[in-house]
Structure 1
Amino acid sequence: ARWRTQHSVMRNGDLYPTHGIGPVAMMIDINRGNRFVSLCSYASKTRGLHEHIVKHGGEDHPNAKIKFKLGDVVTTMIKTNNEETILLQHDTSLPRPYSLGFRVQGTKGLWMDVNKSLYLEGVSKEAHRWEEAAPYLAQYDHPLWKRYESASTGAGHGGMDFFVMHAFIESVKRRTNTPLDVYDAAAWSAIAPLSETSIQLGGETVAFPDFTRGKWLHRRNTFAPDDQY
């Protein structure tokens, strides 16, 4: 998209953090008993977009003269108040299979989206060996997916668009808070400019604003607790 290309020309940072950070933020109660405290970011060299232009348009293509600022891979480490760390990457300029690259790790094991596997200490049959995640995903599938999976068929982003719109409409009808709110939008989106600042400062740690002004201490996570919305 033209608008996105212009960002790649003018900016160097994690320009699209929301898809990666959103699910993780809900897992660890961001803005609801926890918050982002600081981040630091690094960017690789920029080669991918230029090579793509040359490959498809040739050395004499007008866009081959564009100097892109965005690094091919931007890596951001976020520290939270409750002492979790989040590794976030912006990687849209290089050829690779599609993957959001989710990985969740704790004291009892880990799950990785890219290899569709997990390992649970004391549960997985073989020590230190990956186990297929599919049976667990089926067993612990969220009630919302079970109830509305057929209704979401054909909706954008693999059905996810249905759940987003359904949650918003139900919240309005019930005159209650939406599952994701303006504090979430601000915190997730702030990663972009803060990562730019960190990169400009050579990877220095940059403090995160508290958009809730302390309310995060007493708010509770009410994201999708059942099969309603």
Structure 2
Amino acid sequence: MDKQFNRRHFLSTGAALVGGLLLPPAFAGTRERLRIGVIGTGMRGQVLLQELLRRDDVEVAALCDIEPIMLGRALAQVEKAGKARPRTFGEDRDPHAYKRLLDAAKLDGVIIATPWEWHASMAIDAMQAKVPVGCEVVAGVTLQDHWDVLNTQLKTGTPYMLLENVCFRRDVMAALQMVRAGLFGELVHLQGGYQHDLRAVKFNSGDPAKPYGGGLEFGQKGWSEARWRTGHSVQRNGELYPSHGIGPCAMYTNINRGNRFTRINAFASKARGLHDYIVKKPGGANHPSAKAEFRLGDVVTTTLSCENGETILLQHDTSLPRPYSLGFRVQGTNGLWMDVNQSVHIEGVSKPHEWEDFQIYQDKYDHPLWRKYADRAEGAGHGGMDFFVIHAFIEALKARAPMPIDIYDAVSWSAITPLSEQSIAQGFQTLDFPDFTAGLWRTRKPIFALDGRY
């Protein structure tokens, strides 16, 4: 353990004196146009590809996918956009075809939008090849994945950004402006999560034309996310998708930049929702999927404590009927904002014990990024968030500037998953949260879009 800690500490402090954010000479200077590759052209990859194709400062130079249908759809997107046909990899269904893309395509950056279990190894290979990474959430599956991704970034100096789009949601960013303006006073407690009915995502008929719902297949008989994501619900029990909720909460509390997570525990309810969904469908009781035993609790509740005294509560709720909500709550000594009712209460401003409509505050505290780029974000995925997350990655690469969601953010947010699994497996035990920065959190400063450049 001592040798392992010392190695991590050396990589965390010796390889980059300011936390891996000063870029090596290979990444010095500015650029006007980038050659970008995409690994994974499934449903999510196609959404991100569309944002790349909308930009004049990006050449989509290479695509990789081992599913011919998805690769074909991505090529059709490129053709429809009137852009040059990129090089393609993976037609031979070689799961390591992405390595040929990294070696042969001479890329300025790569987007990784594959199933979760591939994210860490693909990011590591890309960084070792000196190809900057924009990785879809999550950063890794096991805790060791996160150490490996971190140490590779610090050793190589290759830029890495976690593509967490909710950090760019308009109300989330307005609330960030309110936090920085001191409207909520000193922050005390925050909440967020991933509360999204995914039953029709986790099961389908296996028909490529119908990726959501329409059947009860998963695994090899399923299609798209039902092919790979549902298996995590069978095999794992924890906070499987933390970054949508924790990303904004971490921004509000300056995690890794003057603050850090210190302790974590997690509780899981019983698992009933997915089985119930199956057996209630016509013929579902006799369908092979009805025999599956799902480990993932229907509602997983994770609590974190912070060095500066705040608590953060996350909830993962994807197996029961419910409207979509990320359940944000930002509460301090002067008031709070909650996104479920889109309301705010500020002591001394709001009427006592009454909510105000948040829209008034959102308009007043609209983030400079939204004021500047709202027109360009119109029509982009997830209400414009996907424009902003790709824009942030591309602009940082062009300027060779620090990533706004950097390697420390990526591993700290994403490691909540394996730590929550460990807590639940050990009888809901409270665990120490690793300091991935090796103490650098004390001196690092908030950088997230402070000047509105990206």
TM-score bin, normalised by smaller chain? over 0.9
From 322, 331, 342, the equivalent of 1:116 is 342
Corresponding residue of 1:24: 249
CA deviations 1:19-44 (Å, max 9, x no partner) are 11001101110111111111010000
CA deviations 1:91-130 (Å, max 9, x no partner) are 0001111111111100000111000111110010x20111
Q: How far did residue 158 of structure 1 move?
A: 1.2
From 109, 124, 143, the equivalent of 2:368 is 143
Corresponding residue of 1:36: 261
* RMSD across aligned positions (CA): 0.9
Q: How far did residue 195 of structure 1 move?
A: 0.3
The letter for the 2-side match of 1:206 is L
Corresponding residue of 1:101: 327
Unaligned runs of 5+ in 2: 1-224
1:70 aligns with 2:290: no
From 412, 430, 435, the equivalent of 1:187 is 412
Q: How far did residue 3 of structure 1 move?
A: 1.4
Higher helix share: 2
From 351, 356, 380, the equivalent of 1:155 is 380
SS of structure 2 residue aligned to 1:150: helix
Question: 1:142, 1:193 → 2: CA distance?
Answer: 33
Corresponding residue of 1:165: 390
Which sits farther off after the overlay, 208-217 or 51-60?
A: 51-60
SS of structure 1 residue aligned to 2:348: coil
Q: How far did residue 154 of structure 1 move?
A: 1.5
Corresponding residue of 2:276: 51
Q: How far did residue 227 of structure 1 move?
A: 2.4
Question: 1:168, 1:67 → 2: CA distance?
Answer: 40
**Paired positions, count:** 228
Question: 1:211, 1:188 → 2: CA distance?
Answer: 11
From 204, 207, 210, the equivalent of 2:432 is 207
CA deviations 1:149-171 (Å, max 9, x no partner) are 11011211111111111111111
Unaligned runs of 5+ in 1: none
From 352, 356, 361, the equivalent of 1:131 is 356
Q: How far did residue 51 of structure 1 move?
A: 0.6
CA deviations 1:49-101 (Å, max 9, x no partner) are 00111122421011000000000000000001111000000000011111111
CA deviations 1:161-187 (Å, max 9, x no partner) are 111111111111111101111111100
Question: 1:199, 1:119 → 2: CA distance?
Answer: 35
From 296, 309, 312, the equivalent of 1:86 is 312
Q: Give the share of equivalent positions with the same residue, in percent.
A: 64
1:61 aligns with 2:287: yes
SS of structure 2 residue aligned to 1:151: helix
1:5 aligns with 2:230: yes
Question: 2:408, 2:360 → 1: CA distance?
Answer: 35
The letter for the 2-side match of 1:98 is Y
Moved over 3 A (4+): none
Question: 1:35, 1:64 → 2: CA distance?
Answer: 43
From 191, 197, 200, the equivalent of 2:422 is 197
